[in-house]
Every structure is written in structure tokens, then in C-alpha cells.
Structure 1
Amino acid sequence: MSLYRVVFIAVIVVTALKPNRAWSQAKDQIDSLKGRLVHAPADTNRTRLLLQIGQQYYDHYKEGRRSRSHSTLREIHFLLDSAIGYAQQVVRLSIGVHRLRWKADGLYLQAKCFSFGERYDSTRTFDYYQQTLKAYKQVGDKPRTAKVLQDLADIVRVHVGVKMALPFVMEALAIQQSYGDTTIYYTLEQIGFLHHKMGNFQLALQAYLQSLRLAEHSKNLLYQLDINGNLAEMYERLGDDARAINYVHRLLRLFGFHEDNESINRIAGYRSKLMILYQENQQLSQARQQALTIIELARHDPDHQSVPLTYFLAQSYVVLGQYELAERLYKHLLPFFEKSTNIGGVTDFNKKLGEVYWLTKRYELARHFFQKALTASQHGRFPDEAVSIHRALYQIDSAQGNLRSALQHFQLATAINDSLFNQTKNRQFEELRTQYETEQKDKDLRLQNQRIQVLSQQQQLQNQQLQQDRLVRNSIGLGAFLLLLLLGLTYNRFRLKKRSNQQLQQQHELLQAQQHQLQAQHQELQAHQQVLHTQQNQIHHKNQDLQRLLAEKERLMKEIHHRVKNNLQVVMSLLNSQASYLSDNAALSAIQQSQHRVQAMALIHQKLYQAQGIARIPIAEYIQEVVAYLQESYELPQPIGFAVQVEPIELDVIQAVPLGLIINEAITNSLKYAFPGGRTGRVSLGFLRIGEHRYELTIQDDGVGLPPDFDPSRSQSLGMTLIQGFSDQLGGQLSIISQGGLTIQLTFSEHQLTSFGSHTDYSYQ
């Protein structure tokens, strides 16, 4: 259980802390501003007064939510309506370039009003935020732009998803860094919180620690408390209870103690967190000590109706074994939580009350409240809470002898826990893999630099060797020249002195000439051998280069398919983001069908970069994934059965793409139109080999079929046009039969592609 779920009551359900006096003071300020507004001319002063009055209504509405119980919130709705009315007047009066700043402030106030509480309107909220961003950017107000992006990120996180909120916070951080904002620690804490919720714990820890250092430097106690609380929650989720306990102690040291209701509630929340952590670690004496401390804090509570402190006090009585007192306090809080809209708070409260009845062996009451907690956790998508609730229900069924139900709850708890474990391990593996690849790239870069240095040294040595060889050749040539000169002189002396031996000398010269000729031939032969050896080495190196280039080409092709798949996923995310801004059902349906087509193409590229080859796709796995994706996407209220029979066939990517898009369009049409009015049915898909290099695709449903006057060949619908177009691209024979449902049958050969689907003209058309 997270730290924020322990202290959540202080935010959601708090009692009245002198609301009448606060409203009286605010009303006096609003009346004073309204009095000035009566005599204000129609200029910027009037616009300023309207904005101040609207802001006063909005601020007091937020204060009223914090200071009133859930049952009395409807009494202060008029405050929010009044704030919206004055903000709209500001926007209407702010016409012209010089009043763009006032218009931006009015739009900002409207955006906050429609994103808050019971007046939440997703369409208006995002529209006003987008207009506000545009206006602040036009006037060049970077701090306000960053603040709007931060608020928009919180709205997207709550109502759309954590991952979609991250780009807005990163944009705000970039803007703050551009003008040197000294409060950047808030944005860093927000980034850490988003990474924390996505399971990127290493990135979350980096952002938290950087934010904490800046908050400490700025001496901002509030954000130091928030960041230490986030760190405690993160370490508790990671199973490091020792560090979680350490950060809660740091919270207590930072907060101190003050004799007021809010301080007592927060300190009691931190003490309650310590109590639970100690209890989970079997440190029972420390847990009991924290429980006694909370009871002592309750005696200092100036407001004896404090709901947060009542909740923490009930938890303390459970730890001390005083179950009757705990039950009495929980029953006192029950009306508040029955009307609460906070799913996390409702889940935790019902678990606590169910635990009291379990400990007192009132199993039916325990089962009732644990079942309510399970329903709330499933609605709020809290899988970690669902695990503990299923285990509690397993123990209750075991105690009552309901062995079959106990086994079901045990299996569900195990399955959810294994899923959470696998998700955590996968995230850790991805973090380790990224770190390894980064280190490997750095290592490769260092090795490359070392190779460059070695090659440079080798080049220098080769130059030195060439100089030495040149000197040796010159020395040999000079020696040979001197030797020939000496032989010539000697020969001349012998010729002059021994004329009688001339014939013998001539024979000797002839022998020497033949010997020189043989030596020249021998040297020529050696030169040819050296040339052949050099050519063989060159051929060998070229073969190695070709093999390397071939491997590099295959790797690049896989990378290209991987990036194309990622880009298609980005397109799907953009379509999903666009869908959140649309309210027209036809536009939403068109975007959803576009997402399905993009997903069908993305799966092709995913298979290509995962496969051993780079051109053929195992079509059985691909069809199974497409059908599963479409079945999950529509989530029809009635059960629709699926039967898929696909032989182990591999197809070229040129044929796999149109085949996948035909399957996407056919199943989409069946799910959308074949089973109206909650009608159940069955969809069958078969892909079989009917001959050598010849295949048959059959998609059949037992729905309502086509209208009697419907002619598929003349249909102008996009889905039917795509099916016929892709069938022509495959060069296949398409037949559509509407009898007892709808049957689409396509027969084609592996080499029957038309001209616009050939290997030389590959496209998704």
C-alpha cells in the first residue's frame, strides 16, 4: 500500500475547518471588488476586476472542497459556476492584440474550472488548455506557458494515461531551462512521478534526487516533503522497506510538530505509514509504539471531528488488537466512503473494514467488504491491491470450507502476482539491456580509437622501413657499379696481356651472358609469383568485405523494418491522441479503423525484424496476432466466438501486407455490423494450402449478413473497396456470399501479383 493511499483521506475526505468564517472573509473581498466593478470604465481595469472576482470564486471553491465533507460539496457548486461566468466575460472583453494577455488569463481560468471536480468536461478542458497555450506563446510569457503545460500534464495523467502526459512535462522543462527558472525542481519532481508510475524506476530516481537537491538549495520545505514521500513510496513498491522507513523518518524530521489540525493529520499519516511498514516487516513492538503515538496525537486534535485522524486512529486500534474500538470508528467513516469518487480510497477503506471482521471471525461481513474492495480495485485498475484482496478471500473461503471458491481466489492471486512480477522483470531487463548497449558502444569507440592509433604507428614503421630499404638498394647499386668497373679494368688488362687466350675469354663471356639471362628469367618468374600472391590476397579481402557487407545489409534491413514498425506505432499513438479530442462518432470510428490498418502493417514489420530471414513471414502467427488484436480492440458486450485455422505457411512480404489488410477489414466489418443489438455469434477464419503455391482464405460469420439489395461490386464503402482492391492486387478470385451470415472467400497463387503489387512497385496501396 502506497504512502499516498495512507494519507489520501487528508486530501479526499476532510471535515469542516471553520468554513463559514473563511467564506465570510472571501465574500467581503468579492463584494468589495464588485463594488469597484460598478464604477469601472470598459477598459483594462474592468477586465482586471472581472478576472480577480472569478479567481476569488475559484480559489474559495478549491478551499471549500478541502474544508467540507463529501455530503456538503453540492452546496459550493455555485462558486465554480460563478468563476466560469466571470472568466467568460474576461474572454469576451479581451478583443485585440493588446488584450491577448487578458484573454489568455481568462481561458486559463476556464480550463481550470472545467477540469476540476463535478464540472469536468474533457472536450472543453483540452480545448481551453490548447487555446491558453497558444495565447501565452503569442505574448511570449514563458513562465505561464510552462505552468499551463504542467497543469495539462496532470489532467492527461489522470484522464488519459501516464505515458501521454510525459511529453507535456518535458516541453515545460525545456521552456524553464531556456530562461533559467529557479523553481525547476517542481517539474523534475513531476517527471520523476510519471516515470515512477510507468515503472521506469531508474529514471524516476534520477529525477527525484535532482529535484530534491534543488528544493533543498531553495529551502522549499513543501516540495522536500513531497519528494521524500515519493521516494518512500517507490522504495516500498520495489520491496526495499528499510529505505522506505528511512524516508518516512526524514519526512517526520522535516515536518516537525505544530498544534494545528492539518499538521496533526499529516504527522498521524506519516506515523500510520511507519506502523504499517513495521507490521509488514514483523517489527511488532515498533508498530505498536507508532500506534500509541497516533492515539496520543488524537488527544491534541483541536477538531474532535477530524476524519483523517479518525481513520488513522482506527488503524492503530487494529494493530493494538482493540477491534471493537476500530470497528466503531470505521462505521463512523462508512457514509463518507460510500459517496466518495476516489477509487483508491474506497478500495483501501473496504479492505481495512474487511480485515477487522476477518480478525474477529465474522466471515460473511469480511467477505462483503473485501468483495467491495475487489470491485473498486478492478474499476481503478490496481492489480497489486487485487492480489492482496484475492488472498484475503482465499483465507475466508478456506476458513468456511468453500474449497472450490478458495482455490479460484488463490489461482487469481497467483496469476496477477506472476503478471506483475514479469512486468517488473521485463522493465528491469530493458533498463539493463539499455545500459549494456551504451557501455558496449563506448567500448567499441575506445577500441576503434586504439585501432586507429595502432594503424598510425604501423604506418610510421612502414615509412621507416621503406627509407631503410631505399638506402640498402642505393648501397648495393653503388657497390655493383664499382665492382663492374673493377672487372672491366681487370678484363682489359687480361685482354692486353693474354691475346692468346682471346678465344677462351670469348667462350667465358658467352657463358656469363647465358647465366645473366637465366638470372633475369628467374627474377621475372619471381615477380610473376609475387603478383599472383598479391592478387590472391586482394581476392580474399574482397570476399571478406562482401560477406561483411551482406551481413550489414541484412542487419540494416531488420533495423529498417524495426523502425518502420516503431514509426507506425507512433502513428497509432498520434491517432489515439487525436481521438481524445474528438466527440463525433463517425470520426472516432474512422480513426479506430485507421489504427487497425496501421497495426496490421506494423505487425508485418515486427515479424520481419524478428524472423531469421528478411523477406518471408510465418503467416500463421501473424494472423493469430491480428485476430487477437481486433478482438481486444472492440470489446463487444456480448460474447463473440472466434475459430482460427491456419496452416504453417510462409508468404513473401508483398503478399502478406494486402492479405493482412483484407483480414483486418473483413473481421472489422463482422464485429461492427454482423451482430447488432447484443446478438451473439461466431467468426471463423481459415487459411489453407489448396495446391502447390496456391492458397485459399475464408472468413465467415453467422451474423445478419448483407442487405438483400446490397451489391458488393458496386459498394462505395471504404472497407469493401479495400477488400476488392487488395484482392485484385493479389491477383486472386474473390467471392462474397451472404447466406446464413456472410462468407468472404479469396483464392490466389503465390506469383499472381498484379503490376501495382509487383516486387518493383512495393507499397501499402
Structure 2
Amino acid sequence: MSYCQRILLHLCLLLIPYLLQSQQIPQSEADSLLGVLQTIQADTNRVKIWLRLGEYQVYKPGEFKADLDSARTYAEQARDLSHKLSDYRMEAKSLNLLGYINLESKDFQLAIAFQQAAINLSKNYKDLQAEAESYWWLANALRHKGDIAEARKQAQKGIALSVNNGFFQQAAEAYLEQGKTYDNHGEELMEKIKYFQLAKQAFAQAGSTQRQADLGKDLGDLYQLQGSKALALLELRKALALYRSVGYLHVQGVYDLLGNLSSELGDYQEGLKYGLLAVQTAEMLKDSTLQLSTIYNRLGLTYYNLKQHQKAYIYFNKAMRIAQKYNHRPSIMIVTYNLVNVLNKLGQLRETVQMLISTVEQYPPRNKNDSIESASRLLGSYTRLKQYTLAQPYYKQLLSLSGTLGKNESIRKIIYNNVMPFLVESKQYALAQNYLTEYEEFCSNTNYLQGASRVELYKFKLDSMQTNYPSAIHHYQQYKQLEDSLLNETKSRQIASLEVLHDTEKKEKDIQLKEQNIKALTKERLLQEQQIKQDRVIRNGIVGGAILLLLLLGAVYNRYRLKQQSNRLLQAQQSKLQEQHEELQTQQAALQEQQQQIQEKNQALEGLLVEKERLLKEIHHRVKNNLQIVMSLLDSQVASLQDKAALSAIQDSQNRVQAMALIHQKLYQAEGVARIPMDTYVEEVVAYLQDTYALSQQVDFKLNIEPIELDVNLAVPLGLIINEAITNAFKYAFPQERSGVVGVSLLKQVDTRYELTIEDDGVGLPQGYDPSQSRSLGMTLIHGFSAQLGGELTIETSRGVKLSLLFTDKKLSSIHKKADYVY
């Protein structure tokens, strides 16, 4: 046998204690073991290699009969040879492996028989460790068969035997098996968490770091199901640290869970960081399993919550490709509905309908809940397209399905939230009023606060459309109060979770500190004992030295008299130095007092600054709410007008108010109170205008907005210019169902100089039309705000219309008179 083969065989022997407790074995190891197998004799080492090869075959990806047959052959060879060698521990391990192979083949009775045979063999030869291991394997087989009571009984036997004899690895596996017999909800979930925690502790005692990390990841999942998000986050962070400590690379699942939890706690930036790490890790490791679909989907949701809809759309599409590769219906349905949501935000309403119809044709509803989900989505999409005739059948289908539900079933939320917009938008006021009463009762019975908020919004819309303005204003105020309450409640829950996380981390650090202190005290006690021994030696030496000292005293006395005079001089100098030192201490105390006063003033100023920022955010919040009320009142006025010119004027006014409202919304949501992130702001303005006009033809947008932050004094006129230019494109650029593209870009040129470009490929300006001489309100506003920005405005009409504005991030010029807006 060569040197390399001996090394490999030695490594194999070291791995045998963890046989059947790891997962997939690298193929390179299996290939090497096959080579070693040809060079060794028929002894225990050959048995161990056969077991390792059998484990490799049974844990290979996929469920292929050929792999299981190969695993069974290796296990049977290991069993026969170990029996011949009277190596009963290896024979028991062979029986355990045969039991697991039959479990994978769904032959539960034979699997149980093999595990029971392993227990009997271990008992006969009084091998307690092998017996303890076989108990949890038997519990595993019983659990898969569905005999939960017996599985728990056998797992408890394994726990008792392992704990009493200090078999930590076997105890950990038995705890884990016991935990797996409980469901993921209610009191059973609490029991499951308890046993998983015990398993994790036992793996730590056994020194199995990777298995300890596996349990930490599982506990993170369970805590999340329990609603203990802070504990889940803490466990996942510990699991990640453990995986890194052993160099384990396949941590994309941990990153994914950390990102999802962070996003659920409202920390979307942290969620984005971990989501991107999950994607990078999975792609680096060439992970193409179904897990990758979940990773892409959750990253898409994080971008969606950050209102970065284009990026969300990209990752939802990636998730869909993986889900379709495995034809996994649940994943396909989840990702489909996420794609529908983001397409709605991007204004691609027709694509959402096509996607939903295609999905329903390919994956017809299998039950009542599937039917409700698909019908509700289609009803909502046709309502947004204002195609009420096509929406009507789905409305009737939902009414029919609603009759089969219990009065307070939670799935009714989906029905109410899609039926109510349809009835209101299609002006079926009587039906809407009746359905609204039913919705309000449901919200009251189920304590559905978000639904109660929507009820007040629908009441506001109905009253507005029927010109009952006092009642409409009252309901709108109720709606805003409920919305603010929901927002505050959500933030309170997030803060509470973060406080729990902080307190838990602090307690753990305190425990670690106490352990360190105990170790330090123990070390100090040992040092003291050593010091006492040394003191005894010194004392004995002193007694002997005292005699010699007496002999020397006579000689030293004369020198002592001489030194006394020198000492007096030294003491006088020392007294002088002491006085100088005391004076310096007095000066230092005065300086410290001054520094303390300065620090107190700084803290007071910081408090005033924080309060100022809070008040500014509150002002922006209220300004935004007031602008929303103005928009709602304008919307109410639309219901009572027939004049198209008046309707168009009001709609233009709503768009301008919305452009300003978005500015104030950004200000009170941002960390600062004076700078606006223009990329997300422009995306939201474009999305709002697409929803407002909802043209029947296809008008696409190409956005190229750099991550620029501008002062609010620049952002407001710039936002209104964008609003006017895009509104003109919707109104005039694409007549007679003509489709086209509108491009919007905002780029930084040099230093503080920026360029805004808005262009379309529409019909262009009328022949002979001079935009600089136009006195229309929209063009007047564009010229006026461009002058206010101190910018250079150019309007071209070679192919469509192209508006370019060059401006700098400097103080605005004074506002011009209306007459000065016209060039």
C-alpha cells in the first residue's frame, strides 16, 4: 500500500464515528476509496470503506434505484465480513445502514426490522454506544412510517442511554429525532424547539461544530415560525459564525434566511446585503437546486419593498426560471403573483393579464383556495385596465366561491380587497355599499385592522362620488388615523424585536464575561497558592538571614549615620516636588471641569438638533397628508364633472400635487430632512402617471437615473418639470392608439452640473408650433421652473419631442413673474 493510500485510509477511519450522520460525501473521496479497496486485506478496514462507499451511494443527489442497489450491495458486504470477523459494532453499523437504505426505498417494515436487529445485536454484546445509536435510527424509521408515539418512545430510550453514559453525539441525534416528531405550530412547535436546543447543546459537547451550526439554522427557521424574529436572527448569526469557523461554504441558505428576517423587521438595507450574499454564494457554488428559486424570489421581494421595481422584476424572473426547471407548482404560483405585483407597479397591466391567464391554463386551480386566488388576481388586473365587462365574470365567480366559505375565514380578505375596487371603479354604488357593510363586519370579527383602514377609504370614495363631501372628509380622516396607527404598530413591533435581540445578545455577553471572570478567579487562586508556597520558602530564608543580619548591623550602623544627612537633603527636595505635583493636580481638575461643561453643552445641542429633525419630518408628513386630502377632494370633484376640459385640468392639477406630495413623503421617510434620492423619486412619479392615464396602447418607459440626491429646493421644480413633460407625452405624443417609448434620464455631468432629458418617439409638435412662444399652462410652467433652476432649456422636435435641461446644484434664482415664463 502506498503512502498516500495509507493516509487516505487513516482519514477514513477517523470519519467512521460520524458515519451516517453527515450528508453527501465528495465524489473525489469515493473514487479514492475505491482505489484503496483493491490494496487492503479482508479486515475491519475493508468493512469501514464499504460502509463509507454505501453512505456515498445513498446520499447522492436524486433518488435513483441503481444508487440504492449499489449502496445495499456495499452494506451487505460490510455486514457479512464484520460478522465473520466478530466485529459486532461494525455489524451493527452495517444493519443501521441497511435500515436507512430500505427507508429510502419506502420499505418501512424492513427498515424497522434492520434497526431492531442492530439494537438486539448491541444488547447481546453489551455495546451501549452502538445500542444508543440504533435507537435513534429506529425512531427515524418509525417516524417516516407514521408511528409517532412509538418513534418518541424509542427516541427517549436513546436519549436516556446516551445521556447516562456521556455519548454526546448519539444523544444529539436522539434529541433531534424526538424533535422531528412534533409539528411546526402551537404547543408542538414549542416542544420541537426544546428538543432542537438540547440537540444543539449535545453537538457542542461532542465537538461537532458543523452539526451544531445545522441545528442553529434549523432553530432560526423554527423561531421565525413561532414569531420570535429576534431570536431567529440571533440563532442564524451564530450558525453563520460556526459554519465560517469550520470553512463550510454552502451557507447561501443561512444568508437567505438572514436577509428575509431583516426585511421582515423593516431593515431592508440589511435584508438586501444578506440577499445579495445568498445569490453570490449560490452562484459561486453553482447551486442550481430549487432553493435558488427561493433565494432569487426573496431578493426580489426586498427590492420590491425598496421600490426598486426593475431590479425586483429581474430577480423574480430568475426565480421563475428555476421553479419552472423543476416544475414545482407552489414556487411557480408564488413567483407568478410576485411578478404580477411588480408588473402592476411598472405599469405593464396587459402583461399581467396575459401572465395570469397563461398560468391558470397551465396550472388549473386544484382547490377552492387556488380558484379564489386566480379569480381575484384577474379581477384586480381587469379593474386596473378599466375593462369592467371582462372583469364581471370573475366578480361573479368570487361571489359564488364566497358563499362556500365560513363567515370569518381569512381567505375572504383576498375576495374583499379585489371585489371592492371593482364595484367602486365600475360605479356599482348600491352593490358596493352592501358589500362594504359585510367587509366591515368581517374586519370587526377578525380584528383585521388593515382591512378596517381600507373600509374607511372605500367609504370616502363612495361618499365623494355621490358628492357627500362632509362625510367623505370624515371617513378620509378616519382612514389616515388607522393608517398611521398601523404604521406605528408595525414600527413598535420591529423595535420590540430589535430590543429583544439586543437584550439577548447582552445577556449572552454577560454570561461569557462571567465565565471569563470565573476562569480569571480560578487562575488567581492558583497563583495565590503558588505565592503562599513561595512565601514559606522566603520566611525560612529570612530566619536564617536574620542571624547574619545581626552580625552585619554593627558594620552598617556607621554607614547609616553618614547616610542620614544625605536623606535629610533628599526629603527636602522631595517635599518641594510634592508641592509642585499638587499644584499641577489642581490645574488638571479645573481643566476637567471645563471639559465636562463643554460636553454637557454639546449633548444639549445634539438633543436640540434631533428634536429639530423630528419636527421637520412631522411637518413634511403633515404637508404630505394635506396634499393627499387636496388630491382626494379633486378626485371627488371629478365624479361630478362632465366637461372634458375641466376633467383634464383637474387631473393635471392632481398630478402636480402628487409630484409635490412625493417630495414631502421622501423627506419624512429619509434619514436626512433636506436631500431627495432622485432615482426612486422619478420611478414613483413615472409609475403614478402610468397608473393615472392607463392608456390602452403600449407605452414603455426607459429610465436612466443616476443615484443623485438633490436639495428639496431643486427637487420640487425639477419634479414638476418631469410631471409636465410626461403628461404632455401621454396626452399628445401617441394619438390614435399609437404605441411608443418615453425616455427619462437624469445624469451628473461635472462637479455640480446635471442634465435632465425627457424624449419620446411620438408624432412631435405641430408644424409651425414654437414652444418658446406658447402660453399654455404646462409649457409656461416648464419655462418658468427652468428659469427658476437657472438652467439651460432646449426643446427639439426632429423625431418626436426631446426636452433637455442643464442646471447646477446651486442656490435657486428668484421666482420669476408669470409674464417672464414666456421667452
Common fold by TM > 0.5 = no
TM-score, length of structure 2 as denominator length: 0.41
Which has the higher Rg, Structure 1 or Structure 2?
A: 1
TM-score, length of structure 1 as denominator length: 0.44
Higher relative contact order (CA 8 A, sep 6+): 1
